[in-house]
Amino acid sequence: MADNTFLAGQRPWLQRLGNLRNVVRQEMVTRQLAAHLPRGPLRVLDVGAGQGTQALHLARLGHAVTAVEPDGRMRAAFEEAARNLTDSQRDHVTLLASDLAGLASVTQPTAYDVVMCHGVLMYLPESRPAVAALARRVAPGGIVSLVARNGDAMAWRPAARHDWPAALAVLEEVRRAVEEGRSADYRNEIGVDARADTRASLTADCEAAGLELTAWYGIRVASDNVPVDEPAPEGDHLAVLLDVEERLGSTDPYRALGSLVHVVARRRG
């Protein structure tokens, strides 16, 4: 679980935080998760918290957030963003230098109402041990929120860009992965080798860990094919775009085409 390939791509990731694709991603996660949050104040664990977008948002709402992030550069970005919190909000945030493998030794309390792991699973060799580790940290009745690369729609981005050879190559990789009983691999747009999950595989991982699927969503259904450096629009243009993405991400058949899949599962109890 500690073998995380994201570290090689942290620089381009941080440089693109304000661009369209990331703005859509973060806002969709925020909206989709909000519908499933138990009544607060909540104890929240964010594993692989990165620059802290979701963790700091929940701290602003008054929840107690423990953020776990292994990389020093990402923690520095988190701390910089946390400067915008009020003193009372900042008191709700604990940032820890650790990863999935170290959760048992660094997390207090040992059970949380909400456990988040967004954009991490694709950089790990496999998801099942990670989901099991996350499930051990959630209290009975609490939720786990997972965001991963959508293996069911990997060819949609190059196809939407009319990059036909790339689309065929992705389809071939998906076919081979199914035949070989493994996850499909790809090189992502921050230049890092990564791995895709599917809704079915994540559902099975959750069930194996004692979690019951509550809901699933697609993220970036219609705005994924833009260049990685495309700036986010402003004002009404952005507001309407986000509303469209929210509707598409929760509506069949469109949500299955999201570049990311967002799974929300609840611990039985």
When pLDDT is cut at 50, 70 and 90, the band that residue 1 belongs to is very low
Residue 137 has pLDDT above 50, yes or no: yes
For the ranges 37-41, 72-76, 210-214, the lowest mean pLDDT is seen at 37-41
CA–CA gap between residue 65 and residue 117 (Å, rounded): 13
User: What's the rounded mean pLDDT across residues 68-89?
Assistant: 94
* pLDDT at residue 4 tops 70: no
The whole-angstrom separation of Cα 39 and Cα 143 is: 12
pLDDT at 193 > cutoff 70: yes
pLDDT at 109: 73
Size of the chain, expressed as the number of residues it contains: 269
Give the pLDDT confidence of 244-268 residue by residue, as tens digits: 999 999 999 999 999 999 999 999 8
Domains and CATH numbers, the chain: 5-149+195-267 (3.40.50.150)
pLDDT band of residue 3 (cuts 50, 70, 90) is low
Phi, psi for residue 142 in degrees, rounded to 5 = -80, 175
Separation between Cα atoms, residue 164 and residue 162, nearest integer Å? 6
* pLDDT at 189 > cutoff 70: yes
**46: region left, alpha or beta (phi > 0 left; psi from -120 to 50 alpha):** beta
Neighbours of 225 (CB within 10 A): 17
Measured between alpha carbons, how far is residue 243 from residues 10, 51, 178, 185, 236 in Å? 29, 24, 34, 31, 10
Q: What pTM did the predictor assign?
A: 0.94
Does residue 101 register a pLDDT over 50? yes
What mean pLDDT do residues 151-166 have?
A: 96
pLDDT score of 2 more than 60: no
User: Looking at the predicted structure, is the pLDDT value of residue 205 above 80?
Assistant: yes
Confidence of residue 5 (pLDDT cuts 50, 70, 90): low
Q: Percent of the chain beyond pLDDT 90?
A: 84
CB 186 within 8 A of CB 194: yes
Identify the pLDDT of residue 40.
78
Q: Considering only residues 163 and 13, tell me which one the structure prediction assigns the higher pLDDT.
A: 163
User: Using one digit for the tens of pLDDT, what is the confidence trace for 11-50?
Assistant: 778 888 889 999 999 999 999 999 999 887 999 999 999 9
Tokens of 234: 């402003």
pLDDT at 168: 98
